[in-house]
Structure 1
């Protein structure tokens, strides 16, 4: 925890003079997504509040916001913890992804599509793989799907999926072999991008649906082994 708090202290400058619970929650959300606070970690009010230089009330409001996003859970008489997802949570996350991501691709208008940021996410993943940084490959994969959703040009859809992708990172942090999990999707991201570059949104949707189905099976398989079916949310 001491090392984690040192990292938070480095973020203190991001708060500026007008620190708010929203800004604190943004910092903590990012730290949780990056794995600084793994699932199951108890978050210390005194430690985090001191590292960020914010009041207890501000921090509690930030905790409340992240609890609403299902990233944290409050346990009576024990404190606030980074949530450990259940298998059912993972399945529901992927159900939401299929509904939203496939609908975004299906609803694309006539080509060409604005694919620069999607292409950059593919390149980011390939560079991370070349550096043998498979945690960064997982991050790049999230970026790819975030940019795919951004093609809808819908602020509300993007906000919804930001929360979904943040929860998905909680599942990824449980995986003991990120190389095996993420490596197959480098080529599949490239295939989806190429379909969209050709203006074939129907083909891209088909690739994406199979992609998400296969990814769910792989993640659930790992999750049953590492966490178990009866893990409480």
Structure 2
């Protein structure tokens, strides 16, 4: 039996989900009193949850301001994409042919991203696109890697929010996500691997360009 989650665990997961969903964005203050009220939790429980988010690289303590949602920089982006290449490319190379269930989960994320694009909800587009990439890593069938990659996704979400023009950043990727799914569904691992490798190179370069341009102004 798995141990039931503590309240601090639950709050940590919910706050992380709010980051992945784009509801908590870089520079936003996580005010202890507000969280105590929102979660009907003790100060110690809230502090424990905030401490865990800090350990995950999602928040930081700022003197005289308290705990803030973290703003990531160029070095963070390079490190995150190093991790993405390691996990996503390995997942594709070692994957078995997609099961109907795996394919359906990927397609659900892609269709949700398409609907968000039609609404011009670019933040949701990014969230659903990241869900697709979580399903790619999920091909390795490792709960530990899934948990680790969820934290990577949360950090990526913060980087996306930092891009000054999220529409410009998100627009190119949906068709490429779908093509990677189609190659996986056809069992063409080499094409999927090459497509994902190029995708990650291009995505990293565009993000670095957007961040360095924003920092220059």
- TM-score scaled by length of structure 2: 0.91
- 1:227, 1:27 → 2: CA distance? 31
Segment drifting more, 179-188 vs 203-212: 179-188
Q: 1:41 to 1:112 in 2, by over 3 A?
A: closer
Look up the match of 2:36: 49
* Residue of 109, 123, 128 corresponding to 1:140: 128
Look up the match of 2:8: 21
- 2:108, 2:34 → 1: CA distance? 37
Look up the match of 1:39: 26
- Number of corresponding residues: 210
Structure 2: gaps spanning 5 or more residues: none
Residue 27 of structure 2 corresponds to residue 73 of structure 1: no
* Residue of 40, 46, 49 corresponding to 1:62: 49
Q: How does 1:166-181 map to 2 (within 5 A)?
A: 166-181=154-169
Residue 85 of structure 2 corresponds to residue 93 of structure 1: no
Q: Summarize deviations over 1:53-88 as a string: whole Å, max 9, x none.
A: 111000000011111110011234542111111110
- 2:77, 2:38 → 1: CA distance? 32
- SS of 2:140's equivalent in the other structure is coil
- SS of 1:173's equivalent in the other structure is helix
- TM-score scaled by length of structure 1: 0.85
Q: Summarize deviations over 1:134-158 as a string: whole Å, max 9, x none.
A: 2221111011101111111110110
Residue 131 of structure 2 corresponds to residue 131 of structure 1: no
Residue 166 of structure 2 corresponds to residue 217 of structure 1: no
Look up the match of 2:181: 193
- 1:227, 1:169 → 2: CA distance? 18
Structure 1: gaps spanning 5 or more residues: 1-17, 229-233
Look up the match of 2:109: 121
Bigger share in helix: 2
CA RMSD of aligned residues (A): 1.6
What displacement does 1:112 show? 4.5
What displacement does 1:127 show? 1.8
